[in-house]
Structure 1
Amino acid sequence: MAPTSSLAQDERLSCLYAELAELTGQRNAIDGRIVEIVAEIDRGELWAGAGARSVAHLVAWKTGVSPSRAETLAAIAHRADEFPQCVAGLREGRLSLDQVGVIAQRAADGSDEHYAQLAATATVAQLRTALKLAPKPRPEPESEPDPDADPQPEPEPVPQPSVTTTSDEQYTSWHIRLPHVEAATFDAALQSHRDALIADWRRDAEKLGGAGDQRPPMPTVADAFLRLVHAGWDAEAAARPHGQHTTVVVQVDVTDRVGSLHLGPLLSDADRQYLTCDATCEVWFHRDGRTLGAGRSTRTVNRRLRRALEHRDRTCVVPGCGATRGLHAHHLKHWEDGGLTELANLALVCPYHHRAHHRGLITISGPADQLMVTDHAGRPMTSASLARPPTQPPPDVAPCSGPTGERAQWWWYQPFEPPDVNDEG
């Protein structure tokens, strides 16, 4: 009876393998279509109008996948035009999302054909190894010195730090130039603050538990830089002239409702309301050229009111966000329009969505017990994903048995090497 039983198990396993191959091909093809949709959203930057922080955030929010899988989908969508063969393999069901995702996230330009052929047999781990073996970009060769010129020794300049800034209508760009020693100190400080932010991010993820797909994105170097600034904000205030604290000052003309930074540029209506909404800066009001004062103290959310607000809202109130750090107390009826600083007129929002609201990308209206959040088109925003039972048959694609997974002989492997742009031949 043993041979008969073993034969029955083999037949059953073969049937399961066949069904698994067919479903895998269909899943890959569906992922390929999702990538096309995400690419269209990315090209038109439609995610901003939907109230999302990025295209990856929109994908995680609306499809219910994890942030890491959403990053993979966004990476493939962003580079779909650079890897048409790999994306075609995904749409045809031959390649998986993870295989194409590794390529899109790490491969050099022009390597589409190379990795499309390799992915037909290589596992995800083998593709990662192949990408590690790829040569790094080579620096441009320096010009040849003139042999007839007399060599003149030049004294080495003393490294001098420098900071330059450029501004446009929305952003100010900082270019910081530091000697290596000071740069190492700066890098270490940035890294330590980013480590602290990541630790907080992980604690938030653990608290969210099953709702981890709604957590904020991983902290960036820019977040660490801002944390570094705030950490040293008033560390030595007593040593400054008059014990002056670091304060952002805004000047507002109450008649024309025009605001500007102190000794700085004019502010847009959105930025003026953003700065005066959470009372995180010093605002001076003027009428007919006369200074009225620094505004009512009731504009400020005191500590007790802030605690009540945090207990009630816990996270950013915008659906699909889930941010818990650095939240602003937003006036639902703006303070400029007579909105009161009380619990019913306040809501916690993250800095991104606070700016998005004041710039008209989303609308947050109250009172707090009847909170309504809509996107730029007036559509109500909810935390629910778009997933629903399918109403159409699955894609008609060939079954996918996956990569062979055989042991790779790396000494025979020829890594992709970008063509030398300096080679005229």
Structure 2
Amino acid sequence: MAPTSSLVQDERLSCLFEELAELTGRRNAIDGRIVQIFAEIDRDELWAAAGARSVAHLVAWKAGVSPSRAETLAAVAHRAEQFPRCVAGLREGRLSLDQVGAIAERAADGSDAHLAELAASATVGQLRTALKLQPEPEPEPAPDREPDGESEPVPAPDPGPQPSITTTSDEQYTSWLIRLPHVEAAAFEAALQSHRDALIADWKQQAHIISAPMPSTADAFLRLVNAGRDAEATARPHGQRTTVVMHVDVKDRIASLHLGPLLTDGDRRYLSCDATCEVWFERDGRTIGAGRSTRTVNRRLRRALEHRDRTCVVPGCGATRGLHAHHLQHWEDGGLTELANLALVCPYHHRAHHRGLITISGPADALAVTDHSGRPLSSASLARPPTQPPPEVPPCPGPTGERAQWWWYQPFEPPSTR
């Protein structure tokens, strides 16, 4: 009875493995098509028009997957053109999304053929180990000297650590170059690191809700600025110096920062909505008055707003930190600073609304959020019962599962540029 029972188990297991190979191949091919769709969205930057903060956010939102899986899909979509053979293996059902995702996240340019061959028999863990063995990219070679033989100019001696701040501006951004002595720089770095640690702690708490990149040093710098701005006036008696001043021409609706560049219409509305900003109205170049002091939301109204909305009101977002109180009817158009005319939005979607990427209209009890084409945004994923047959692909047996002998493995080495 024992041999017969073992034979039945082997036959049953073979049938189950055969079905599993077929289903796995179909799943891989479907993932490959999903990657193609998001690669097109990434290439043409259509994710912003859909009201998403990034491609990974759009994947997690519309595909209804976890943030970690969304990051993998987004990574493969972003580098699909650099790894055509690996992506083709995914689309044909031979490779899994996790295999190609490990390659897309860490592999060097030009290693497509090498890694496509390795992935045909390697597990995800073995692929990650192989990617760790690849050599570090060589630094860019120094430019050659001019052929005329003239010597390079000798740089002027360093005058020492003199504090200085230099700013440059273009149409969209302002760049800051900050120079500090070592002691002051150490204190500045410690403050930035403290604020970044706090942002990362908040980010980890909501990582399962939204897909967002890890907070950067720039995010910590902005948090440091906001923390100083929100401190009590007694702690900074000259706090008015940190107020952003905006000048608005009421006739032509043209705004500029005080002693600074002109603002776009979106930035003008954004600053006059919930930012800590002092607005001065002008006509024909002459100041005619200051903005209404009731533009900003007081603490009591803010608590009521947070109790009502809890998160960013844009569907699919779910952000809970650093939210802005947005005027549904713009403040500069006569909108009142009251609960029925306010909604909580995250900084990204607040700017996206004022720049025309999405539309948030009220009143608050009948809120409507649409993308730039007027399509309503919904927090539900796009998943629905399939109406087409699954793709016809050969069964996927999966990796061989052999123990890797790393002593003979030759990692990919990019060709030397020298």
Q: TM-score, normalised by structure 1?
A: 0.89
Q: Could you tell me which residue of structure 1 aligns to residue 55 of structure 2?
A: 55
For 1:135-214, what aligned pairs fall within 5 Å after superposition? 135-140=135-140, 157=158, 160=161, 163-176=165-178, 188-205=190-207, 212-214=208-210
Q: Could you tell me which residue of structure 1 aligns to residue 326 of structure 2?
A: 330
- Structure 1 residues 154, 326: closer, same or farther in 2, change over 3 A? closer
Equivalent position amino acid for 1:304 in 2: R
Aligned partners of 1:329 and 1:349 also within 8 Å: yes
- Structure 1 residues 121, 179: closer, same or farther in 2, change over 3 A? farther
State the secondary structure of the residue aligned to 2:137: coil
Equivalent position amino acid for 1:414 in 2: Q
- Paired with 1:243 and 1:101, the residues of 2 have a C-alpha distance of 49
Equivalent position amino acid for 2:62 in 1: K
Q: Could you tell me which residue of structure 2 aligns to residue 291 of structure 1?
A: 287
Q: Could you tell me which residue of structure 2 aligns to residue 396 of structure 1?
A: 392
- Structure 1 residues 303, 128: closer, same or farther in 2, change over 3 A? same
- Structure 1 residues 77, 229: closer, same or farther in 2, change over 3 A? same
For 1:335-374, what aligned pairs fall within 5 Å after superposition? 335-374=331-370
- Paired with 1:347 and 1:225, the residues of 2 have a C-alpha distance of 26
State the secondary structure of the residue aligned to 1:218: coil
- Paired with 1:136 and 1:185, the residues of 2 have a C-alpha distance of 33
Aligned partners of 1:61 and 1:213 also within 8 Å: no
Q: Could you tell me which residue of structure 2 aligns to residue 133 of structure 1?
A: 133
- Paired with 1:242 and 1:165, the residues of 2 have a C-alpha distance of 23
- Paired with 2:172 and 2:302, the residues of 1 have a C-alpha distance of 30
- Paired with 2:177 and 2:156, the residues of 1 have a C-alpha distance of 26
Per the TM alignment, residue 3 of structure 1 is displaced from its structure 2 partner at its CA by 2.2
Q: Could you tell me which residue of structure 1 aligns to residue 301 of structure 2?
A: 305
Equivalent position amino acid for 1:200 in 2: D
Per the TM alignment, residue 122 of structure 1 is displaced from its structure 2 partner at its CA by 1.1
Per-residue deviation, residues 28-76 of structure 1 (Å, max 9, x unmatched): 1111111111111111111111111111111111000111111111111
- Structure 1 residues 384, 352: closer, same or farther in 2, change over 3 A? same
- Structure 1 residues 175, 419: closer, same or farther in 2, change over 3 A? farther
Per the TM alignment, residue 256 of structure 1 is displaced from its structure 2 partner at its CA by 2.3
Per the TM alignment, residue 162 of structure 1 is displaced from its structure 2 partner at its CA by 5.8
Per the TM alignment, residue 377 of structure 1 is displaced from its structure 2 partner at its CA by 0.4
- Paired with 1:124 and 1:233, the residues of 2 have a C-alpha distance of 48
Equivalent position amino acid for 1:259 in 2: A
State the secondary structure of the residue aligned to 2:175: strand
Per the TM alignment, residue 220 of structure 1 is displaced from its structure 2 partner at its CA by 3.0
- Structure 1 residues 176, 77: closer, same or farther in 2, change over 3 A? farther
- Paired with 1:409 and 1:185, the residues of 2 have a C-alpha distance of 49
Per the TM alignment, residue 356 of structure 1 is displaced from its structure 2 partner at its CA by 0.7
Per-residue deviation, residues 125-149 of structure 1 (Å, max 9, x unmatched): 111111111111122456899xxx9
Per the TM alignment, residue 203 of structure 1 is displaced from its structure 2 partner at its CA by 2.7
Aligned partners of 2:56 and 2:211 also within 8 Å: no
Aligned partners of 1:279 and 1:301 also within 8 Å: no
State the secondary structure of the residue aligned to 2:316: coil
Alignment gaps of 5+ in structure 2: none
- Structure 1 residues 386, 165: closer, same or farther in 2, change over 3 A? same
- Paired with 2:240 and 2:411, the residues of 1 have a C-alpha distance of 59
- Structure 1 residues 300, 154: closer, same or farther in 2, change over 3 A? closer
Q: Could you tell me which residue of structure 2 aligns to residue 387 of structure 1?
A: 383
- Structure 1 residues 8, 40: closer, same or farther in 2, change over 3 A? same
Alignment gaps of 5+ in structure 1: 206-211
Per the TM alignment, residue 407 of structure 1 is displaced from its structure 2 partner at its CA by 1.2
Per the TM alignment, residue 399 of structure 1 is displaced from its structure 2 partner at its CA by 0.8
Moved more, 243-252 or 413-422: 243-252
What is the number of equivalent residue pairs in this alignment? 412
Q: Could you tell me which residue of structure 1 aligns to residue 123 of structure 2?
A: 123
Equivalent position amino acid for 1:350 in 2: C
Per the TM alignment, residue 213 of structure 1 is displaced from its structure 2 partner at its CA by 4.5
Q: Could you tell me which residue of structure 1 aligns to residue 25 of structure 2?
A: 25
Q: Could you tell me which residue of structure 2 aligns to residue 86 of structure 1?
A: 86
Q: TM-score, normalised by structure 2?
A: 0.90
Per the TM alignment, residue 165 of structure 1 is displaced from its structure 2 partner at its CA by 3.5
- Paired with 1:234 and 1:375, the residues of 2 have a C-alpha distance of 33
Moved more, 69-78 or 226-235: 226-235
- Paired with 1:51 and 1:314, the residues of 2 have a C-alpha distance of 19
Q: Could you tell me which residue of structure 2 aligns to residue 76 of structure 1?
A: 76
Identity of aligned residues (%): 81
- Structure 1 residues 239, 17: closer, same or farther in 2, change over 3 A? closer
- Structure 1 residues 378, 412: closer, same or farther in 2, change over 3 A? same
For 1:258-269, what aligned pairs fall within 5 Å after superposition? 258-269=254-265
Aligned partners of 1:201 and 1:218 also within 8 Å: yes
Aligned partners of 1:65 and 1:213 also within 8 Å: no
Q: Could you tell me which residue of structure 2 aligns to residue 209 of structure 1?
A: none
Higher helix content, 1 or 2: 1
Aligned partners of 1:215 and 1:322 also within 8 Å: no
Moved more, 153-162 or 257-266: 153-162
- Structure 1 residues 243, 222: closer, same or farther in 2, change over 3 A? closer
- Paired with 1:44 and 1:247, the residues of 2 have a C-alpha distance of 38
- Structure 1 residues 241, 347: closer, same or farther in 2, change over 3 A? closer
Per-residue deviation, residues 192-211 of structure 1 (Å, max 9, x unmatched): 32221121123335xxxxxx
- Paired with 1:384 and 1:290, the residues of 2 have a C-alpha distance of 51
Aligned partners of 1:103 and 1:115 also within 8 Å: yes
Equivalent position amino acid for 1:408 in 2: A
- Paired with 2:369 and 2:9, the residues of 1 have a C-alpha distance of 56
- Structure 1 residues 353, 130: closer, same or farther in 2, change over 3 A? same
- Structure 1 residues 112, 180: closer, same or farther in 2, change over 3 A? farther
